[in-house]
Amino acid sequence: FCLFKTIPEHGNIFEEVPESKLQPGDVVLFLLESSSQELSSIFRHAAVYCGDEELIQFRRIQSSSSLISSSVTALALVTKEGLGTMKKKWGKFKIYHKTDGVALNDFREKVREAMNNDAKHDFMKNNCIHFALSLLGLEKFSSQ
């Protein structure tokens, strides 16, 4: 997955921050573990910090019949998990803060709505990056 600091029609909106500056609405991107310098900034999962050491995420439910079917939609879940658990599970990460801030009331409302909706995962059109950006009002996300 790729996330750029600049999004068309929004300009330069993200800055990388250290974990000590983590705030609700920050996007946490878990890195693909690789010794290659080129692959070291490719992300394998995204979540959004909600506060109180919790992250909200959208993740594909792994099917036992096929490990990867990236071109096909699959069932997925919106869940919250503790920051410590996510760090153990996913490893290295980077934190991106929205430079103009996050409207916390809007963000919290979107989190509440997301926790009560179902959605299909699509590798190219409806994935964890789309979900994270939708919570910040920067991207459309298809839920049911």
User: Which amino acid is present at 48?
Assistant: V
**What pLDDT shows up at residue 123?**
78
Length of the chain: 144
- Residue pair 138/7 in contact by the 8 Å Cβ criterion: yes
What local confidence, expressed as pLDDT, does residue 6 receive? 46
CA 19-25-31 angle, 5° bins = 50
* Whether the predicted pLDDT of 1 surpasses 50: no
Other CB atoms within 10 A of residue 36 CB = 8
Q: Read off the amino acid at residue 130.
A: H
What is the average per-residue pLDDT within 122-135?
88
Terminal CA-to-CA distance of the chain, rounded, Å? Answer: 23
Just give the CATH number of 6-135: 3.90.1720
- How many Å apart are CA 98 and CA 12, to the nearest integer? 9
**pLDDT tens string 91-105:** 999 999 999 999 999
pLDDT tens, position by position, 21-80: 999 999 999 987 655 555 556 778 999 999 999 999 998 886 555 455 445 678 889 999
